[in-house]
Structure formats: structure tokens, C-alpha cells
Amino acid sequence: MRVTLADPLALIPGFERTHREQSARYPAAAPGWQPVHTVYVPADRFGAETVEQWGAAALELFTRHLAGPEHLAAVFGVSADLAADVHARVAAKLRREPVEDLRVDFEDGYGVRPAEEDGHAAWAAEAVAALHAAGALPRRWGLRVKSFADGDPGRSLRTLDGFLTGVVERAGLLPEGFTVTFPKVLMKDYLYQFSDCLGSLEKGLGLAEGTLRFEIQVEATQTVGFLDTSLAGSLGGRLSAAHFGVFDYTASCSLPPHEQRLDHPACDHARHVMQTAFAGTGVELSDGSLAASPASGGRDDVHALWARHAELVEHSLRHGFYQGWDMHPSHLVSRFVTVYAFHLRHYAEFSARVRAWQEQREAGGGVMDEPATVKTMAAALRRADLAL
């Protein structure tokens, strides 16, 4: 064919550099395994038996108050065609792997206890090493340190150092899956300061460069203000995830207590900013928690808690947040029921539509899928396969 420009690439001499930068900033990777939740346990209540205890408590509630698949429709709205499958999967999950991601909390759930924190950090390290030796350490694990915004970064780093040193000494290595949660980041510089400290800890512990990674907690309007697409790259690959903190965030918006909830529109805005800032970067996103447990062990109170938690988990999933925080063993039941039902609900449909696209034929039913939609369905199927 006839063209007007003899050498169009000569007109864009910076293209290769820009494209390399794009590939580095937005790696086109299929979704990898991501935990569906993070279980937070205050450091003074954590021990080698914690994971087993949470699983046993959740399974007891599940067995007592969801004896059969027929109860899933009434409590969670799970359709009859999925109820048996979901019920069986949740029962098996609670027996096999009740906790996918564990965080030992030295921040809000622990409080300011300078005389005790060193001891609890050493005790937590011993418990982690014992879990590792028993093959019972969750696939993802770590701790939440105190915030630099509190004005005492030395305390934060001392706990992190003591915990990591204790784990490495007792286990003989740093078990896979470690991360550290960095809360209340009110100043952007704190991220770079903390990242530098992780580098120094790596060298001191003899770990490979880039081993120690961290999660930022987005729990203040100030934090949302400096989230942008360059942040992950500027931290040299150390930023692994961004977790939303519902209660601190809604408090920073001056919302009254009865409006401090995950499904408040202010929280939706923050989550959408997080998605915009980290889309395509490989940084995982996690939603926050429900700060409630059953009012009693009675069926009505347990069902009410499960129904409310399920609403919030579903809200997160519909907004593209596939992970959240669980703060009580009862939350494991509603978490897994809702996640499994969500992934199974459209699995067969998505499979058929992706297959039709691959075979270059119509999917039927008047559906006209765009390439981006097909890519999204393929990602959803992969995410479901990994979660289920």
C-alpha cells in the first residue's frame, strides 16, 4: 500500500525508552495467588496454637449454626444450585487451612506497652518458628509495627528487628511468605525511610536483597493525597500491598461512629484511588475489617453477624478488592462462604464465554464481548482457581 511517512519510527526517538518504562511500571502478569483475608491477632494474644484455635472455633460455629447446605440461602443468600458445593468447600477449608495470611499486631490491637513489647516480640518469634517447624505457618505471615507517625520510629524498628532476628535464629532461615504492615503513613517520606531500614535489616540478617517487603496501610485522607502511579516503582519493588483501614480513615473524614463502615461512600472513594494508583503495578489491594463479633453464641446473633460481614465482603468483591481483614474466628465462616459463592456464581458462564472467544465464535445470548472483558473474565477464572 502507499504511505506518506517514509520512516514513522524516526519521528518518535524516545519510544523504546518509554515502552521499557511502561513494561517495568505495569508488568502484564496474570493474577497470582493472593490470600482472601488477613487475620490480625494482638501480639500479647498470639502463640503457636493461635491458628489451630481460630480454625477450631470457626469450625465449631459452622457445624453448630450451618449444619447443612440449606442454611446458606437463609443466612447468606447462596442459591440452591451452589449451596452444597459451597458448604462442602467451607467445611474442608476450615479443617485444612483456616488462616491464609496471619499478622501479629503490635499497633492498635496491642497498644503502647514499652515495658512488655520486647518480650512479646521475642515470644511471637518463637511461636512463628514453632509453627514453621510444625508445617502449620500460614502461606503469608508477618507483623504490623507501630507507625512512624507516632513519633517513635525507634520502637517500631526495634520490634521489627527483634522479631525477625528471633525468627531467623530459631528457624535457621526466614520462612517464605513474610511481609510487614506499615500503618498510618501520614507523610510520603516515611515510606522511603522505612524501605531503607528494611534494606539495612536484610544486610544484617544475611538475607538476599529485596527479601523484606512491606504493605502500606491507607487509613488517612493525607495518605490518599500522595498515592500515584509512580509510587510502587519509586520504592524499588519493596511495596507488596496496600491495605485499607476503615476506622482510622472514616475518623479522618470526621464521620460519626455509626457511619464508620466499609460500605460508606467515603471508603468507596479511597478504594477507587487505591485502584487507580496501583492498577497494573503488581501491588496487591486489600480491604479492611468489621469490628464486631457475635453478641452471643446463640444462633440468631451468630447469623446476624455473618449476614452483616457477608454484605461487607460482597461489597469489597464487587469493587475489585479480593482480600480483607478478619478480626474474629466467626469471620472465617462468612469470609469463605461469601468468597466461594462469589467465584463460583459466574464460573461456568465465564468459562464458556472465554472458550467461545478463543474459538472465534459467538458466545450466544446476544453477548458481544470486548477483548478487555475477555481478559477480565480469564483473570477472574484464574483468581477463582487459586482461591478455591
Same structural domain for residues 177 and 59?
yes
Q: Which tens digit of pLDDT belongs to each residue from 145-162?
A: 999 999 999 999 999 999
What is the pTM assigned to this prediction? Answer: 0.94
Residue 280 sits in a domain of what CATH number? 3.20.20.360
Which runs of E-coded beta strand occur in 90-165? 101-105, 140-144
Bigger pLDDT: 99 vs 114: 99
Give the residue carrying C-alpha cell 469463605. 336
Q: Looking at the predicted structure, is the pLDDT value of residue 180 above 80?
A: yes
Same structural domain for residues 234 and 363?
no
Same structural domain for residues 144 and 260?
yes
3-state helix, strand, coil in the chain (%, to 5): 55, 10, 35
Angle at 293 (CA atoms; ends 70, 333), nearest 5 degrees: 35
Q: What is the mean pLDDT of the chain?
A: 95
Same structural domain for residues 74 and 212?
yes
Which runs of E-coded beta strand occur in the chain? 37-42, 101-105, 140-144, 178-182, 214-218, 239-244, 284-286, 324-326
Query: How many whole angstroms from its chain centre is CA 256?
Result: 26
Report d(CA 317, CA 319) in Å as an integer.
5
**Backbone φ and ψ of 107, nearest 5°:** -110, -120
Q: Which cell goes with 196?
A: 531503607
Q: Contact 320/347 with Cβ under 8 angstroms?
A: no
Same structural domain for residues 332 and 363?
no
Same structural domain for residues 58 and 128?
yes
Q: What is the mean pLDDT of residues 189-216?
A: 97
Same structural domain for residues 227 and 361?
no
Q: Contact 45/116 with Cβ under 8 angstroms?
A: no
Nearest to 332 by CA among 9, 2, 90: 90
Q: Looking at the predicted structure, is the pLDDT value of residue 302 above 80?
A: yes
Query: How many whole angstroms from its chain centre is CA 106?
Result: 18
Q: Looking at the predicted structure, is the pLDDT value of residue 30 above 90?
A: no
Report d(CA 182, CA 242) in Å as an integer.
10
Tell whether 36 is covered by a domain: yes
Give the residue carrying C-alpha cell 449444619. 67
Tell whether 357 is covered by a domain: yes
Amino acid 366: pLDDT: 82
Amino acid 185: pLDDT: 96
Q: Contact 39/99 with Cβ under 8 angstroms?
A: yes
Q: Looking at the predicted structure, is the pLDDT value of residue 4 above 80?
A: yes
Within a 13 Å sphere around the CA of 244, how many CA atoms are in the beta-carbon half?
A: 33
Same structural domain for residues 141 and 117?
yes
Q: Residue 88 sits in which domain range? A: 31-345
Same structural domain for residues 299 and 356?
no
Looking at the 3D structure of the chain, how many domains does it have? 2
Amino acid 364: pLDDT: 82
Q: What does the chain come to in residues?
A: 388
Same structural domain for residues 139 and 125?
yes
Q: Which cell goes with 46?
A: 498470639
Report d(CA 316, CA 313) in Å as an integer.
5
Q: Provide the 10 A C-beta neighbour count for residue 234.
A: 12
Q: What is the mean pLDDT of residues 11-29?
A: 88
Tell whether 22 is covered by a domain: no
Tell whether 49 is covered by a domain: yes
Tell whether 143 is covered by a domain: yes
Tell whether 288 is covered by a domain: yes
Same structural domain for residues 95 and 211?
yes
Report d(CA 10, CA 29) in Å as an integer.
30
Report d(CA 132, CA 141) in Å as an integer.
11
Query: How many whole angstroms from its chain centre is CA 40?
Result: 12
Which runs of E-coded beta strand occur in 65-108? 101-105
Tell whether 293 is covered by a domain: yes
Tell whether 366 is covered by a domain: yes
Q: Contact 215/241 with Cβ under 8 angstroms?
A: yes
| DSSP reduced 3-state for 296 | coil
Domain boundary among 330, 345, 360: 345
Residue 141 bridge partners (DSSP): 102, 178
Amino acid 261: pLDDT: 96
Amino acid 31: pLDDT: 85
Q: Mind giving me the DSSP string for 208-273?
A: PTT---EEEEE-SHHHHHH--TTHHHHTTT-EEEEEE-HHHHHHHTT--GGG-STTSHHHHHHHHH
Same structural domain for residues 338 and 381?
no
Q: Looking at the predicted structure, is the pLDDT value of residue 55 above 80?
A: yes
